[in-house]
Structure 1
């Protein structure tokens, strides 16, 4: 028997958010100088570059190609201080996205696909990938950082102690996200990455900003088309859609790592989501439809 409950699985005061993407950069077309502004854009060979690239002309040292990218092109870097890339001493290079209009928007989320070299001892403590933002030309605020983790890998710094301790960048690009709590007229995004040797590779793709509006958490019905149920099986939830085309379900842990993704081929009926293999924790569930998506924090016990 399925017991219909509120989306609030526990006594945590967690709100439901309906989010809509309002900005996307996927690097499928050249936007240098118009949509985005790199410090340089140069390729001096397969092991030395800071540029918009594709797998067809760029093969990573540690794998044949990146997997999981959106489309064909993405932005990536390796050995930035090569004389024909950034120049001697310029291991840190920046990619800027300026003046994104956020007037009147609240509850803004940043998300992107990230990739890198997961082999041990690939990176040094001086290597990193950091995404920052600023509102109305104010101070830069860190959003997400990937730092060396003591094992020569770049991992997410989840507690701001300047040491990677979370998700490790690897050859399969993963979607991670963070919230932008401040409001204003415009937001700038800055990607700062440091690499001074061959093999210290990183990549970013499908940069998106979305806005969420908070609703009451007292009703299981997400809108007129989508409902969520909790089953009597531990860790198993059920989604029911009457009219909406459900594209996919994504579940993230609190570090922003995508831990489960279910692609549903435009499903318009009931289906179950089994989270029983996940550790007991709070997760973020994202339900993607054909015209919007819904984000909800849930507690899996």
Structure 2
């Protein structure tokens, strides 16, 4: 434990408001045993403190310690006085500073250090009661909010708490030699052999917290202030087991702040920035801080002209902008800070204002709210240089990196007069462009610039990925969402995903609105479309790429012939959108569309016994397949069969290129139950297939499938999916 009277700084938190009293049992340490005598004696003792002042240390807005006593060293006669000499019989009669080795019979816990002060049965060896312990000469000059704290304990083994009615310990104080004022009283709880407790209403009976064998902190407020404080502890304990122990007395208070005066800065002809640094609040909020200035060297504290701010402040540096000064004049100034205890002043500083006018002091700040075609420019005239600022504004350029007034490719915009911050809203800028800007200010001396700031306008917002509607074999409609601020749009259409080539008329085609009908397209072809938004400031990046395939050319529907004669008739069919012409086959039998002579395949050779994907060379030519292998035995109708794994996505088998397709016939069966369907599809390019028909599985018995495709396209591909 540190000596409470060394020169180091210590701190204690503020505890309770005026006249509050409470206990704090939060700091137990170790247990100590003391002796017990067989007779009683009341005692009074006094502790004398000769003007001891401790260093002060800031702790937020908490109070600072101005006095403490921990009894770790003998202070009788120097730090405190007793009304009778300290005494102990080595047993149960004592009134002394002790570490427990010269007394016996008592058991305390939470001892604060090695030594404390204790008393029991004082009149066993001392006939005069009460006795007292006095701390005097405590300097409280300029201090407010005084708080007293003490740790108390009384032996309690479950049977030895036997204070009687006359037993008491009174803690009182006086300021500047006045009368004693009650602070903390400890009384018996009434009657004989009762527990000692805090007497909250000072009526002679303990009715508050019981004093136990654990050292516990009790705190009370000291009302008023003055120059010198005295604490008196009076004891009247006249029998065995009527004991008390106390330790770690302390007093905290609010003091005036500690402040230093800072240096002057930003000095012009008529203004300067002054300030200070609050290094210690004195234990209370700072309610006002600022500076006093004067043209008189050594001017008195609190005189001169004041620039300040009020509120709630802590430690730290602050500044005040002082204006209205005269050019070429020496000024003296002091920083000050005020709390509830008073006002403190820093040492005197000085500065001299500029003696002649200069060009203004201006600063260019970063542009804000930058869009593809606009921005807000920002600057500040920090000082007018001693002459009025008659014009201020900005110069900017996308070419000149250090723009100034009257230079080529430089635009000037004005923004008022005088000092302070100012702005300008620019519009009509070009997107995706870097601009260079300087704030400027003009007075009678000349023009000043605030330094170059740059900003870049982004590209305009691009449209969202286009969508499609009204899709046919030769046309579709492209749709997009309008972009705010766009005046038109550019559209690219290509059959290549990298847009290496373009559909005629659709490279950078200007369109408007939110849709465009596109015609003259090819059947069964995938097209790629992208958009750009055109703004007055420029053109956006590309949108995402929209993809759409036109539908396949469908076969016409043949209707009943008309105008039938002996050797002629009129063939009729439905018109097909986008068809350039039609091919007509006429025969005397229905086998005209039979392609059996064109392609026959029994799958007896060319397949493997594991699932295969890719090109498969069979007897009838090169087929393509995904997840197909050769089946034999009971799983084939005769010889071998092609098995398609419908557990694989897009599993299929596709014919070689055919020059026409009439009737398709094959046998099929389901190898495992579960149901489902297969599709017959056709394609003119071997890539983009359309459905011809679908067929539900009919169980695990081979069933013949027959369908008239009747498509004379050349080439044409058929596949089972």
TM-score, normalisation: structure 2: 0.27
- 2:89 matches 1:44: yes
Q: Equivalents in 1 of 2:250, 2:313: separation in Å?
A: 23
Q: Is the 8 A contact 1:36 1:96 kept in 2?
A: yes
Q: Equivalents in 1 of 2:189, 2:286: separation in Å?
A: 40
Task: Give secondary structure in 2 for the equivalent of 1:96.
Answer: strand
- 2:228 matches 1:186: yes
**Aligned-residue offset at 1:21:** 1.0
Instruction: Kindly name which structure, 1 or 2, has the bigger radius of gyration based on alpha carbons.
Output: 2
1:59 counterpart residue number: 104
Q: Is the 8 A contact 1:49 1:78 kept in 2?
A: yes
Q: Equivalents in 2 of 1:109, 1:95: separation in Å?
A: 19
Q: 1:202 aligns with which of 234, 244, 247?
A: 244
Q: Equivalents in 1 of 2:138, 2:186: separation in Å?
A: 24
1:245 counterpart residue number: none
- 2:153 matches 1:109: no
Q: Equivalents in 1 of 2:206, 2:61: separation in Å?
A: 29
Q: Deviations over 1:56-114 (max 9, x none)?
A: 333344x3xx22222111111001111x3x22xx2311001111111111001000101
1:122 counterpart residue number: 162
**Aligned-residue offset at 1:137:** 0.7
Q: Equivalents in 2 of 1:51, 1:58: separation in Å?
A: 9
TM-score, normalisation: structure 1: 0.62
Q: Equivalents in 2 of 1:94, 1:182: separation in Å?
A: 23
Q: 2:113 aligns with which of 71, 75, 92?
A: 71
Task: Give secondary structure in 1 for the equivalent of 2:253.
Answer: strand
Q: Equivalents in 2 of 1:136, 1:210: separation in Å?
A: 18
Task: Give secondary structure in 2 for the equivalent of 1:81.
Answer: helix
Task: Give secondary structure in 1 for the equivalent of 2:109.
Answer: coil
Work out the number of aligned pairs and report it. Answer: 200
Q: Is the 8 A contact 1:111 1:207 kept in 2?
A: yes
CA gap of 1:223–1:215, structure 2 versus 1, over 3 A, is closer
Q: 1:163 aligns with which of 194, 198, 205?
A: 205
Q: Equivalents in 2 of 1:25, 1:112: separation in Å?
A: 9
Q: Equivalents in 2 of 1:75, 1:168: separation in Å?
A: 19
The Cα RMSD (Å) is 2.4
Q: Equivalents in 1 of 2:131, 2:225: separation in Å?
A: 27
Q: Is the 8 A contact 1:117 1:153 kept in 2?
A: no
Unaligned runs of 5+ in 1: 1-15, 226-301
Q: Is the 8 A contact 2:176 2:229 kept in 1?
A: yes
Q: Is the 8 A contact 1:60 1:201 kept in 2?
A: no
Q: Equivalents in 1 of 2:180, 2:315: separation in Å?
A: 40
Q: Is the 8 A contact 1:79 1:91 kept in 2?
A: no
Task: Give secondary structure in 2 for the equivalent of 1:22.
Answer: strand
1:12 counterpart residue number: none
Q: Is the 8 A contact 2:155 2:213 kept in 1?
A: yes
Unaligned runs of 5+ in 2: 1-59, 255-282, 288-311, 317-721
* More contact order relative to length (CA 8 Å, sep ≥ 6): 1
Q: Equivalents in 1 of 2:188, 2:164: separation in Å?
A: 6
2:66 counterpart residue number: 22
Task: Give secondary structure in 1 for the equivalent of 2:218.
Answer: strand
